[in-house]
Amino acid sequence: RIDRMLNQLKMAGKLSDAAGILLCDFHNCIPKKRDKSLTLKEVFQDYIASEGKPALSGFKIGHCSPNIAVPVGVKAVLDAG
């Protein structure tokens, strides 16, 4: 599912348009219907690292606990260095 969603973003040009990419917490994220699958790291490497944009992972935003709110429209700096 994550591969499919990232592919949609890539095909729509959203990954190339992004200034940087934040990956959230993917706790207990395993394929349910397939015996063989790429790892999340391999999927992210293919879609995210290949864009050459700053990227950070492990953020507690989204569907996890604790859930840190990130306001939409707020100016921020992404320092992946």
Domain assignment of residue 14, given as a range: 1-57
Q: Is residue 77 part of a domain?
A: no
Check residue 32 and give its pLDDT.
Answer: 75
Q: Is residue 22 part of a domain?
A: yes
Q: Is residue 29 part of a domain?
A: yes
pLDDT tens figures, 40-71: 889 999 999 889 889 988 888 877 778 888 88
- The number of domains in the chain is 1
Q: Is residue 68 part of a domain?
A: no
pLDDT at residue 79 tops 90: no
Record the pTM.
Answer: 0.75
Q: Is residue 1 part of a domain?
A: yes
Burial class, 38, CB count within 10 angstroms (exposed 0-12 / middle 13-18 / buried 19+) = middle
Q: What's the rounded Cα separation, in Å, for the pair 56 and 20? A: 8
The contacts found for 24-32 with CB under 8 angstroms, 24 or more apart, are: 24/57, 24/58, 24/59, 24/60, 24/61, 24/62, 24/64, 25/58, 25/59, 25/60, 25/61, 25/62, 25/64, 26/2, 27/64, 29/2
Write out the two tokens for 11: 């095909």
Q: Is residue 46 part of a domain?
A: yes
